[in-house]
Amino acid sequence: MTGAAKGIIAILLVAVGVLAFMLWRGQPATEPVGGSNPLDQREALLLNPEQHHHILEEMRGLLTAVALIQQARTSDDWAAIAEAAKGQGTKRGQIPPAGMRQAQPPAFRQMGQGMRGQFDAMADAAEAKNGEAVDTALTAALGACMGCHETYRVQLAR
């Protein structure tokens, strides 16, 4: 083999190596486990089992709180409204599982934070015995539920 041929082979080998490295780096850190329904075109949040369980548990808590608030509003039980709303507000003091923040796209996080702010407003309104302001904040929070559910779904990742 001539020196020139050896040189070309060496350059090719390096190029293949660089390509392989780029492909490997391009792989997402997490991959979906199992398939998803192709009819569901929403953006997937890839979560580990702990994060997946946590987010759905939080969701069920939100639905319960909304039901409690609506129920309490029929008798204007301000203390019950304030308590349920505070439990879903920005100062609810719960610690998310590791990596939860990084797993959420910025727009998802913003929607979540906006909704938590509406629960703060609901609690303040209940403490001020202002039913109309409670309703306004509840309506805004429900708007955030709908907006987010239209856009995102969750999926287990490895």
**Segment near ligand HEC (CB under 6 A), from 6-14, 16-24, 71-79, 107-115?**
107-115
Q: Minimum distance between the CB of residue 96 and ligand HEC, rounded to whole angstroms? A: 13
Of 50, 47, 51, residue with least CA distance to 30: 47
Judged by CB under 6 A, the number of residues near ligand HEC is 18
**Could you say whether residue 117 binds ligand HEC (CB under 6 A)?**
no
**Could you say whether residue 115 binds ligand HEC (CB under 6 A)?**
yes
Cβ atoms within 10 A of the Cβ of 83, count?
16
**Could you say whether residue 154 binds ligand HEC (CB under 6 A)?**
yes
**Closest CB to ligand HEC among 16 and 107?**
107
DSSP label of 135: H
**Could you say whether residue 111 binds ligand HEC (CB under 6 A)?**
yes
Which residues in the 6-65 window bind ligand HEC by CB under 6 A? 56, 59-60, 62-63
Q: Minimum distance between the CB of residue 56 and ligand HEC, rounded to whole angstroms? A: 4
Of 104, 139, 105, 146, residue with least CA distance to 119: 139
Answer positive or negative: Cα dihedral of 55, 105, 28, 152: positive
Could you write out the DSSP letters of every residue in 8-62?
HHHHHHHHHHHHHHHHHHHS-SS-BSS---TT--SEEEEE-HHHHHHHHHHHHHH
**Could you say whether residue 69 binds ligand HEC (CB under 6 A)?**
no
Query: Binding residues for ligand HEC, per CB under 6 A?
Result: 56, 59-60, 62-63, 66, 108, 111-112, 115, 141, 144-145, 148-149, 152-154
